[in-house]
């Protein structure tokens, strides 16, 4: 005999299309990738399926395991993954989320890829090698011979896991290995050395404190060559099949992103090939860093969307005090506020993806805009995600605090993107560096914002305020976060006023620009169209 009947529980959020996102789809069309919509919906339905959700759970529940030696004592330095990890990777690579735009001449190819990366999120951990492979290609092009050898395999849509000679595989993945114990973000303090050999290769000796995705086939790394800090390409396996002495010392025990391996690595005279000129390592690898920054913004925007849709779904099906949560005014304020933040992140993300696409095709104006706006977006969107994830989790109450809801995993993931590829201070100071050294970037930013002039008086006032902030040179470094925050809010407001849903733009301008907002989510002012905002964040189950 049962003791109770289970009632008032929310059905699983499966069987929906994660690409059914109005802000994303509008941005896709606006930024020149409307041709990708049908394929994006296919990927979105797969991402929202029960099978993909389960693969994401299992990949997180069974983190990678390092095998340094085989049963006979031979050094192997292999990382083992759960089959669900491989399924997630196979889908991502098969849909070209890793590097396909570099082999696609269609305008909007990078935008389509960004949208796919945003949509395919059963577990965020596997996105790390996908992102780094995408970002490695432009850096590798600093050495055309290496690019000619490896770029076609990096762009291949075949997922071919395992340590074998790179040119004998059907597809390759790339990682990055820069950070050292003594330097952290200050990569110029790196002590790894690179000794040139007569055949044109180098031998690397040193310890890398944080190497992302050590199971990849190729790595871009920095080391001190005779003429200074230089970028190098390091293969895991040499052309003759021998293991390159890139020793995996241990895997990091991380807060989140647990399905992905991150390692400490020692180079014991590892074979490497120079990428770009000696002494130009930072300038060479910055191409990779900038694109991984784009993916940080995409990942944070995707995480916000996942958080708010989960919260809305829960509130739509859960009753308390005789009414559905979604019908109660204060909860509606919270949900709408979360949705506004999410859409502001998405509209900025799609604009940055469009700038990346046009910059890759030689548009100097878009390159200048991207230089500033990408650093601004990296700082702000990634910085906003942890608070957003915490509030979305709280919408589920105690249910959200339980691992099975998926919200703890989302919350643990949320601080990563603000740390990866330069923490908040690094990104904020990079904005100041760009403003000081490259005057064309501010002109490009102002032109973008000026396109919305006169559309909303609250936006116009915010534009004037940020100009005053920039005009004051006093303690500018001390005020860097404040300056970048205002640059980000003005840019998001301008994009929403021009391209967003009127209700979302109105709420953003009232709260984020007009100051009619508290210190927590759920403090939007009265008189806004909360129903229209929440509807855009409500997942439609199939």
Question: What are the tens digits of pLDDT across the range 379-422?
Answer: 999 999 999 999 999 999 999 999 999 999 999 999 999 998 88
Q: Please report, rounded to a whole number, the percentage of residues in the chain having pLDDT higher than 90.
A: 92
Q: Residue 483: pLDDT above 70? A: yes
Whether the per-residue pLDDT at 1 is higher than 70: the answer is no
SS3 322: coil
User: Which residue bears the tokens 């990296």?
Assistant: 378
Cα(190)–Cα(21) distance, integer angstroms: 43
Instruction: Please list, in sequence order, all residues whose beta carbon lies within 8 angstroms of the beta carbon of residue 369, skipping any fewer than 6 positions away.
Output: 355, 441, 444, 445, 447, 448
Tell me, what's the pLDDT at 306? 98
Percentage of residues of the chain with pLDDT beyond 70 = 100
Please write the tens of the pLDDT for every residue from 345-355: 999 999 999 99
Is the pLDDT assigned to residue 186 strictly greater than 90? no
Any idea what DSSP says for residue 170?
A: S
Task: Write out pLDDT tens, residues 64-84.
Answer: 999 999 999 999 999 999 999
Is residue 187 scored above 80 in pLDDT? no
Predicted confidence at residue 3, as pLDDT, reads 86
Q: In whole angstroms, what is the distance from residue 158 CA to residue 160 CA?
A: 6
Q: Give CA–CA dist 12/251, Å, rounded.
A: 33
What is the mean pLDDT of the segment spanning 439-459?
Answer: 97
Mean pLDDT value across residues 473-480: 93
Count of residues making up the chain: 542
Sign of the CA dihedral 459, 465, 467, 470? negative
Across all residues in the chain, what is the average pLDDT? Answer: 95
- Higher pLDDT, residue 345 or 289: 345
Statement: residue 530 has pLDDT above 90: yes
In terms of DSSP bridges, do strands 174-179 and 319-320 run parallel, antiparallel, or are they unpaired? unpaired
Q: What's residue 285's pLDDT?
A: 85
Q: Find the radius of gyration of the CA atoms of the chain.
A: 23
Q: 80-110 burial by CB neighbour count: b if 16+ within 10 A, else e?
A: ebbebbebbbbbbbebbbbbbbbeeeeebbb
pLDDT at 184 over 80: no
């Amino acid at each position: 005999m049962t003791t109770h009947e289970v009632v008032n529980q929310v059905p699983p959020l499966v069987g929906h299309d994660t690409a059914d996102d109005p802000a994303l789809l509008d941005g896709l069309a606006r930024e020149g990738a409307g041709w990708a919509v049908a394929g994006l919906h296919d990927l979105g339905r797969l991402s929202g399926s029960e099978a993909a959700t389960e693969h994401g759970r299992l990949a997180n529940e069974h983190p990678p395991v390092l095998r340094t030696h085989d049963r006979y004592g031979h050094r192997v330095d292999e990382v083992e993954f759960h089959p669900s990890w491989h399924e997630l990777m196979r889908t991502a690579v098969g849909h070209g989320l890793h590097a396909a735009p570099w082999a696609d001449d269609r305008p909007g190819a990078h935008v389509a890829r960004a949208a796919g990366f945003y949509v395919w999120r059963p577990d965020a951990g596997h996105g790390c090698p996908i992102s780094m492979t995408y970002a490695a290609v432009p850096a590798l092009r600093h050495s055309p011979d290496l690019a000619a050898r490896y770029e076609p395999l990096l762009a291949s849509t075949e997922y071919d896991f395992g340590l074998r000679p790179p040119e004998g595989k059907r597809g390759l993945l790339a990682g990055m290995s820069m950070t050292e114990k003594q330097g952290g973000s200050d990569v110029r303090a790196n002590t790894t050395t690179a000794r040139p050999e007569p055949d044109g290769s180098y031998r690397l000796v040193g310890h890398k404190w944080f190497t992302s995705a050590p199971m990849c086939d190729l790595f871009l790394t920095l080391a001190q060559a005779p003429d200074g800090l230089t970028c190098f390409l390091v293969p895991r396996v040499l052309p003759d099949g021998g293991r390159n002495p890139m020793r995996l010392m241990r895997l990091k025990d991380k807060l989140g992103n647990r399905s992905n391996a991150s390692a400490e690595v020692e180079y014991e005279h590892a074979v490497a090939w120079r990428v770009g000129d000696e002494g130009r390592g930072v300038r060479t690898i910055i191409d990779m860093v900038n694109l991984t920054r784009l993916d940080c913004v995409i990942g944070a925007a995707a995480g916000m969307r996942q958080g708010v849709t989960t919260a809305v779904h829960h509130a739509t099906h859960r009753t308390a005090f005789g009414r559905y949560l979604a019908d109660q005014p204060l909860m509606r304020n919270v949900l709408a506020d979360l949705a506004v933040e999410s859409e502001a992140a998405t509209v900025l993300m799609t604009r940055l993806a469009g700038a990346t696409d046009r910059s890759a095709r030689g548009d100097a104006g878009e390159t200048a805009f991207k230089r500033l706006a990408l650093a601004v977006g990296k700082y702000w969107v990634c910085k906003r995600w942890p608070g957003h994830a915490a509030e979305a989790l709280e919408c589920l109450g105690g249910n959200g605090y339980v691992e099975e809801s998926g919200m703890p995993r989302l919350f643990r993931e949320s601080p990563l993107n603000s740390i990866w590829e330069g923490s908040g201070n690094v990104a904020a100071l990079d904005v100041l560096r760009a403003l000081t050294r490259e005057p064309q970037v501010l002109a490009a930013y102002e032109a973008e914002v000026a396109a919305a002039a006169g559309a909303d008086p609250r936006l116009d006032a915010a534009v004037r305020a940020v100009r005053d902030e920039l005009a004051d040179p006093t303690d500018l470094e001390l005020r860097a976060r404040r300056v970048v925050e205002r640059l980000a809010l003005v840019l998001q407001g301008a994009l929403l006023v021009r391209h967003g849903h009127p209700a979302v733009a109105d709420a953003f301008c009232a709260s984020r620009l007009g100051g009619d907002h508290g210190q927590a989510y759920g403090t939007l002012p009265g008189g806004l169209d909360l129903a229209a905002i929440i509807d855009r964040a409500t997942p439609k189950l199939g």
